[in-house]
Chain A
């Protein structure tokens, strides 16, 4: 019964031709937007279209893409995880302390440690939300300030500087043994895994089912609470991974590391076409959303827009993206009638 759900969903989409093309158009839309932006910026600043700059953009969006994918899974179940930034801050600080004290520690072990610590924090979120029945926005708002407070308590206000971290750890994110920086490869790997998980596993399809109609999902035998718990656990796990990469990339761990990052991850998801009311979202869309945010940030610098106006431009862009998305959807409803 549940195993058939994915095919059932897909055929119903494929049957309605207009709907299907418009959904594809939504990703084509953001691709087109990126394409136009790239051409426009290249005309103003030719240095934009160089391999170095492109690599720079990819480096900048890798962490965002990883956490935005986790955020996407949470949003698909009609939830939200505001605590990702504090989880990155706390795990990053703990890993940095351990690495400073034990410089000989294998790099792979630090990655695993970060993911394990993040999983514990994600489990805590998941338990409050599922067993405690606290609305996700309240629960993660609470843990946002709890985890951030723990960063201060943990470090007592000290921070870890670049010279205190071993070289092997710092090259974890930036080394290029396989041509591209490791961090970019890790992000691609995460995207591929999440893609297969969401589209080709039963649990992945259950996530969509829980988000698009929680009651119906429960009647078909899906354990709603377990799925909800799982997405917050994954969110913690990927935030833990992102934390290790963050400390390695910026070569420091501070008490305010990643503060405010949670809203960027939500923005990347929403710009990438993930519906805040649940049930809708694609990996490709979210990766493109993160890429768009990265390109905008990069190009605003290249065409010499004052850094002070960049945040405003980003905010305006998010608004334009969601308004145009709504416009497309309302057009779609009209063609349906």
Chain B
């Protein structure tokens, strides 16, 4: 429960903090103890990565891109061939006749219209259950067309930033929560679905299905902003859809799980992550246990799973995923207490709140 609250707080913008000794489980402390003083070189990391991913490079990214494109194409194909398989757009649709409603759009509509629309509620419940099972913000990285565009332009941003041609201005993550409240209030006060007017998700989904519109200029503007001024700014700091689905995913059985045992703490996962704060637990002495599920703000995109050189990050479906048995650490000291007393934890991690890439970008 505590972890869930922490996960929600993180979703709303709370920064992660250094853990006190009693917040780390004895088993995890043991592992940290053994890792002390071990330095890893870049070459070692790369060798490890090649070994673990030699047959499947970017496995999850490929799967995700295919899924995302397939979902959005299904709308198009269904409409153009008139096969009524998946009608509508991402804001609301029917899948083989079953109502589905985007949770955030439905919320905005009900706030603006000030009524609980029963039909819409059916779609909301369906989608809630679906995305609960699939991980909540999974919607963002596996279905939202803006996410894919932003992911592509992100690589352009990183390329430019490396050469000093683009900046990465950061914002306080809590600003997304402020936006959430603002758009909810605007819907109530004005009676219009104000957020829908600027939502690149809706604009893009409709443009893909019904043909291009002038509103794409706004999407282009957002992408340019992200390319030159702030990496993934919309998804990180503005989009309320992320919070809505984030809340859905707090107790989701599907998530990425971190395993401390083999982690080299080199930070490759945080460098690729859209929401690197969820991976702050991969910093040395930040994980409360040997195995920890990643927080609700995680979009389950799998970039970290692909990037991890040691298979320390993996998709897990609670109750379904079978884990290989772990080898016991050799020469384990008998008592945890004595271990902790002898070697107090040292906060040796690098600057915690900055992602390596953004540091590079600012230089």
* Chain A complexes with chain B: no
Residues in B lying within 8 Å of A, measured CB to CB: none
Residues in A lying within 8 Å of B, measured CB to CB: none
